[in-house]
Structure 1
């Protein structure tokens, strides 16, 4: 199993958001993590990255994450946060090539070979025409695809994505989800993706994990399960 979660309890001093969560995933896999705002989705990712205290165990590739100093450096985990912004001008190729940070020593410069690899990824994602553009001038959908291009270069076994299609139009939502499915099916990656876009999951293969459910458990993505959870989330509110 590439991911194993056993009796996870996580939250904050005044409020426990996740109680006794257990599941396991065999690689490769796509897991859509759904639920109301405040259900503990982002908290779960923070626990994965050792950013909040928790009880229980989270294991990746049979290693307890509490015992691994920096999973990102070791190529085990990559993470795309819900809000990922750049406030200064930077060329697209300079941003994407930073995905190779794991292979560089401290302060080591990126080489022409590194930039060639970045260009290959952009070409594969049909983004090569943006390579010399200033990232800050791109549309929200284009920017998100560029972040995903950078994530591709990190080449981690497990990718955590926090609402990667938030505020994107229907065209870019479809492109992002198609890209994530390709990562699983063609590159053998395991994707854990927080999303509110349940209807965009309908054509995908993978699993659902509804953290708002009374007893969250992995369920296969099927039209029936997607619609069942859509109705559940629309008809129940998250307990305070």
Structure 2
């Protein structure tokens, strides 16, 4: 079994006396691609933002055996990176400048960029096929282009744990596939990737583990075939489905029972 890299114990999160997340207990391992799934308003993004301390929570979150509250900010940012679902940026930074911000946790004082930082940023710009955007202002880009720039920034941070909130929501099918394929490649380097996903078929195709939440509770956690069941889908989404193995893709699949003829 791969080495445990992040543990969540008795995590609770409240906003204005409203209990959003309730007694979450999870363990994550190196080399996993974990999808957080569930209906709108279930708490998926809220949970993800607890993992690196963006949200103030009750409970314990440990990375590599150490409580994240005991990490210095820059050291924590060398271990865990985060990409927000909201890609709007109002300041007209160049794309290259945005991506280079991913190197900030490694700078000893101020914003002292080194040539090695620029080489790392260029590597990920080339991979994401956005090298031609490097001098363009982030405010001039489409939503999909911004998504690819911000994903490059996260990769440039070069952390062992990568958190992604709907990373392909503005992308066409080509770039959606490319990003998920690259996520799989990163797991082969023993990185942990945790991402919220709305598209269950994409989650099934690429994720090694799924966490299904509803109303702030984890109602299923495990391999895809353990989580994507007729009972769990009914419980989470209040729809009746038939779950089966797709003979074309050879993946687990499902269809709404009203659609069956």
Aligned position for 2:198: 196
Aligned position for 2:256: none
Aligned position for 1:38: 41
CA spacing shift, 1:64–1:111, aligned 2, 3 Å: closer
CA spacing shift, 1:107–1:211, aligned 2, 3 Å: same
Matches within 5 A, 1:73-152: 73-152=76-155
User: 2:98 is paired with a residue of what secondary structure?
Assistant: helix
Aligned position for 2:222: 219
TM-score by length of 1: 0.84
CA spacing shift, 1:114–1:8, aligned 2, 3 Å: closer
Please tell me whether the aligned partners of residues 10 and 53 of structure 1 are also in contact (alpha carbons under 8 angstroms). yes
Aligned position for 2:259: none
TM-score by length of 2: 0.78
Aligned position for 1:181: 184
- Cα RMSD over matched residues? 2.5
Aligned partners of 2:158, 2:29: CA distance in 1, in Å?
A: 18
C-alpha deviation, 1:110, in angstroms: 2.1
Q: 2:167 aligns with which of 161, 164, 168?
A: 164
C-alpha deviation, 1:5, in angstroms: 1.2
Unaligned runs of 5+ in 2: 240-261
Query: 1:77-121 CA distances to partner (integer Å, 9 max, x unpaired)?
Result: 111111132223332222212211112133333244432321122
Query: 1:9-43 CA distances to partner (integer Å, 9 max, x unpaired)?
Result: 22223321222221212212111111122222222
Query: 1:175-210 CA distances to partner (integer Å, 9 max, x unpaired)?
Result: 22222222212x321111112121212321411101
Aligned partners of 1:11, 1:71: CA distance in 2, in Å?
A: 27
Q: After superposing the two structures, state which structure 1 stretch, 113-122 or 153-162, moved more.
A: 113-122
Aligned position for 2:252: none
Count of residues paired in the alignment: 234
C-alpha deviation, 1:52, in angstroms: 3.7
